[in-house]
């Protein structure tokens, strides 16, 4: 579903991505983790078109999308959420999710201007689709009120619903558990698994190591813009290069044991 080959990205003299390569198979749940500054969000931004890489190749479902605009990549089947919520605060909950349906909407500018029958049909389909995905993410708040009035955890659900309304093949989740309490994280874990059951491939960046270990089928670990590990959760957790990247060469035996168990507070804070 996704191939990243020798990706390069630099900001001035800082090399954010240094020949990064990894792939994600159709239907997989893959987490991309690493210490702060490892290049995780830069990689997502290059894949989704928000950054133009200085070198390398990105392929989505076999098609090269390197350097295309975000809208063009989205049209090829990619949707994403962001570390910092990017909802339309002055729109309703329902209209925020309806905005995600524009990629497949059949109406034209003229239809919208003249309110043609096709416009009315399309608007009805868009509304039905938005309700469908809000039901799917189990939104409990008011759908007609402004989205900015919802609690933070509910806004996270709206953002995921909007991404799903685009009918993606690949969903990128950038720190979806940020700011959530333990109960909301458990609900997010179940939601991610239900999304996978729809046949959607999922890649996520996440700081919560417990969530990463529970939902991931495979984990890709970055450090200084390079891949240092790629494998099943148990294999990655015991990888010496991963432990060193998170805790440094001077970590004591207790820290190493906790990091490998995936439950270290220090490890989670540095994810």
* Residue 50 pLDDT level (bands cut at 50, 70, 90): very high
Which DSSP state fits 149?
G
Nearest Cα neighbor of 126 from 90, 166, 160 is: 166
Please tell me whether residues 140 and 262 are part of one structural domain: no
Q: pLDDT digit string (tens) for 99-123?
A: 888 775 666 666 666 667 766 666 6
Per-residue pLDDT, 8: 94
Please tell me whether residues 240 and 250 are part of one structural domain: yes
Q: pLDDT digit string (tens) for 59-81?
A: 999 999 999 999 999 999 999 99
Residue 47 CA to residue 111 CA, distance in Å, equals 33
Please tell me whether residues 126 and 260 are part of one structural domain: no
Domain end, chosen from 167, 187, 218, is at 167
35 falls within a domain: yes
The least confident of 4-18, 112-126, 139-153, 230-244 is 112-126
The residue-averaged pLDDT of 140-168 equals: 92
* Residue 257 pLDDT level (bands cut at 50, 70, 90): low
Please tell me whether residues 209 and 198 are part of one structural domain: yes
Residue 258 clears pLDDT 60, i.e. is over it: no
* Residue 17 pLDDT level (bands cut at 50, 70, 90): very high
The residue-averaged pLDDT of 8-30 equals: 93
212 falls within a domain: yes
Per-residue pLDDT, 266: 40
Residue 54 CA to residue 6 CA, distance in Å, equals 10
Q: What CATH code is carried by the domain that includes residue 229?
A: 3.40.50.300
The residue-averaged pLDDT of 119-131 equals: 79
Residue 203 CA to residue 61 CA, distance in Å, equals 14
Please tell me whether residues 181 and 69 are part of one structural domain: yes
CB atoms within 10 A of CB 22: 19
Please tell me whether residues 198 and 160 are part of one structural domain: no
Residue 271 CA to residue 266 CA, distance in Å, equals 9
Please tell me whether residues 99 and 117 are part of one structural domain: yes
65 falls within a domain: yes
138 falls within a domain: yes
| Greatest alpha-carbon span in the chain | 71
The residue-averaged pLDDT of 191-198 equals: 97
Tokens of 14: 């800082």
Please tell me whether residues 194 and 259 are part of one structural domain: yes
Per-residue pLDDT, 119: 61
112 falls within a domain: yes
The residue-averaged pLDDT of 188-213 equals: 94
217 falls within a domain: yes
How many domains in the chain? Answer: 2
Domain end, chosen from 167, 189, 222, is at 167
Q: Which domain holds residue 217?
A: 2-77+168-269
Please tell me whether residues 98 and 210 are part of one structural domain: no
More confident residue, 17 or 256: 17
Domain end, chosen from 115, 134, 167, is at 167
83 falls within a domain: no
Tokens of 129: 């689709």
Per-residue pLDDT, 140: 78
Please tell me whether residues 124 and 106 are part of one structural domain: yes
150 falls within a domain: yes
Residue 169 clears pLDDT 90, i.e. is over it: yes
């Amino acid at each position: 579903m996704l191939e990243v080959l020798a990706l390069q990205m630099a900001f001035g003299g800082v090399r954010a991505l240094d020949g990064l390569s990894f792939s994600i198979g159709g239907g997989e749940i893959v987490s991309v983790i690493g210490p702060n500054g490892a290049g995780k969000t830069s990689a997502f931004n290059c894949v989704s078109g928000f950054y133009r890489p200085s070198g390398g190749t990105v392929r989505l479902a076999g098609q090269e999308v390197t350097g295309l605009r975000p809208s063009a990549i989205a049209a090829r089947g990619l949707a994403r959420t962001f570390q910092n919520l990017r909802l339309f605060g002055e729109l309703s909950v329902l209209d925020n999710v309806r905005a995600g349906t524009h990629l497949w909407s059949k109406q034209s500018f003229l239809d919208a201007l003249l309110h043609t029958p096709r416009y009315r049909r399309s608007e009805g389909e868009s509304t039905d689709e938005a309700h469908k995905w809000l039901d799917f993410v189990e939104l409990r708040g008011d759908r007609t009120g402004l989205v900015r009035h919802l609690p933070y955890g509910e806004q996270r659900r709206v953002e995921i619903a909007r991404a799903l309304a685009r009918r993606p093949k690949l969903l990128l989740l950038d720190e979806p558990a940020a700011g959530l309490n333990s109960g909301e994280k458990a609900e997010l874990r179940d939601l991610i698994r239900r999304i996978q059951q729809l046949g959607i491939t999922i890649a996520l960046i996440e700081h919560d190591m417990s969530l990463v270990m529970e939902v991931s089928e495979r984990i890709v670990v970055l450090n200084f813009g390079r891949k240092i590990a790629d494998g099943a959760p148990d294999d990655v957790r015991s990888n010496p290069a991963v432990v060193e990247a998170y805790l440094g060469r001077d970590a004591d035996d207790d820290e190493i044991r906790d990091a490998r168990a995936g439950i270290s507070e220090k490890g989670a804070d540095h994810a």
